[in-house]
Structure 1
């Protein structure tokens, strides 16, 4: 393979959940610029349409799908409507939510909402995608956006932390079971990434205190994810499955 084409995604179709903002939107723009056709999904269809417009202006191809990843019938509908593009061969499970509060203050509803979106949703999307890849006899690639909180813990977000740990193990199980079908499954573990949603917090006194615990003394920018994402999405990682890649400025290896 020529170096200039190592990370290209021409003739690939990507399906990205939680793509209306933040990391998901960034994934969509990045993969489109690398040559992939991009199907983006989220609950917020109006925001998705704006992302589609951005991709088209960059010369790419994109479709938007309103999707609740906790509902299997909605996932099936999205994949059915993508038939003109063929079965997606790159899946990015990015949809996720969190709740705030101490463990004993979390409600059953808090638990169910986070687990259904983050863990159940990723399982449903990956499983449906894998079935279609197998039926079409095509190789595929699933990337689960987990978190460094899947390996280390913080107080105040228990359901989120537990769901991300589950995503890491789900990644490994899927990697094992899907390997014989030439479907790779890997996980990206971002640290704190500056987005529109958390920018104000990360600039606050509490955020600056958190910064001192990161060895590189900087929060990730969205562009810091480009290399790892293109590695996992492209054939450059064709021998990788069941891997977890942390992009965190060394946060996971900071001293206890």
Structure 2
């Protein structure tokens, strides 16, 4: 294959969870620009419709599906609807996530479970339903899980997030172990500190902002679009023999002390 063909996603359909804004929307745009039809997902149907309208105004094709990825019944229902409408998911990006900053001694068990459910359990549930159909169709597929620097390291006050992202790395490897034989490539992306709405409080904290810039060899916060290239790579034929890996997009932060 030539380089343009390797990265061409024409004829593919990609579901990006949590894509009404932030990293999910940036990755969805990138996949669409590479030729994929994109399914945008979020819990807020109104916000999702507004995002889809802007998305299509940019010339990108999009469907919308509002459902809670942490709700097993809702996930099953969404995929049954895909089946009924003839929508075959070739590429899944498990991106939906939340953050809760709180010392562990003050965390309730429900708060702990809530963060793990949205990140880790949801990725399992959506990944399971997507893989069942990829296997049945017999033409494989791509699963891209969104990890974090916290897949490798931890910080105080975000224990459930770090636990979920550490689990995401091993979930990705488990998907690879079981589904690679069906030509499904499951890999993960580990973003560093990215300038998104979820990180607004950190961005607006002068001390933390200076720490991120000083600690990162690239000397800056990441931007959502910094994830687009690796997303297209992992969604395309260019990564057909890469499986169970996590690619860190962190400006070099994990590489240095």
> 1:213 offset after TM fit, Å?
1.3
1:239 counterpart = 2:241: yes
**Structure 2 residue aligned with 1:8:** 8
Give the TM-score normalised by the residue count of structure 2.
0.95
What is the rounded CA distance, in whole Å, between the counterparts of 2:86 and 2:50 in structure 1? 21
Deviation readout 1:190-235 (Å, 9 max, x if unpaired)? 0011123424532421222232111221111112112111111111
What is the rounded CA distance, in whole Å, between the counterparts of 2:44 and 2:210 in structure 1? 31
Give the TM-score normalised by the residue count of structure 1.
0.95
Runs of 4+ displaced beyond 3 Å: 83-86
Number of aligned positions between the proteins: 255
Q: For structure 1, which segment, 48-57 or 101-110, has the greater mean C-alpha deviation from structure 2 after superposition?
A: 48-57
What is the rounded CA distance, in whole Å, between the counterparts of 2:114 and 2:250 in structure 1? 26
What is the rounded CA distance, in whole Å, between the counterparts of 1:139 and 1:177 in structure 2? 13
Q: How does 1:141-156 map to 2 (within 5 A)?
A: 141-156=142-157
**Structure 2 residue aligned with 1:137:** 138
Identify the structure with bigger relative contact order (alpha carbons < 8 Å, sequence gap 6+): 2
Asked if 2 retains the 8 angstrom alpha-carbon contact of 1:49 and 1:64, the reply is yes
Q: How does 1:66-145 map to 2 (within 5 A)?
A: 66-83=66-83, 84-145=85-146
The runs of 5 or more residues in structure 1 that have no matched partner are none
Q: For structure 1, which segment, 195-204 or 34-43, has the greater mean C-alpha deviation from structure 2 after superposition?
A: 195-204
**Structure 1 residue aligned with 2:36:** 36
Q: For structure 1, which segment, 245-254 or 205-214, has the greater mean C-alpha deviation from structure 2 after superposition?
A: 205-214
> 1:15 offset after TM fit, Å?
0.7
Asked if 1 retains the 8 angstrom alpha-carbon contact of 2:13 and 2:89, the reply is yes
Q: For structure 1, which segment, 125-134 or 70-79, has the greater mean C-alpha deviation from structure 2 after superposition?
A: 70-79
Deviation readout 1:62-88 (Å, 9 max, x if unpaired)? 111111111122112222222334320
Deviation readout 1:127-183 (Å, 9 max, x if unpaired)? 010011111222100000010111011111000000000000000011010011111
Q: How does 1:211-226 map to 2 (within 5 A)?
A: 211-226=213-228
What is the rounded CA distance, in whole Å, between the counterparts of 1:144 and 1:181 in structure 2? 18
Asked if 1 retains the 8 angstrom alpha-carbon contact of 2:43 and 2:67, the reply is yes
The runs of 5 or more residues in structure 2 that have no matched partner are none
Corresponding residue to 1:254 among 220, 237, 256:
256
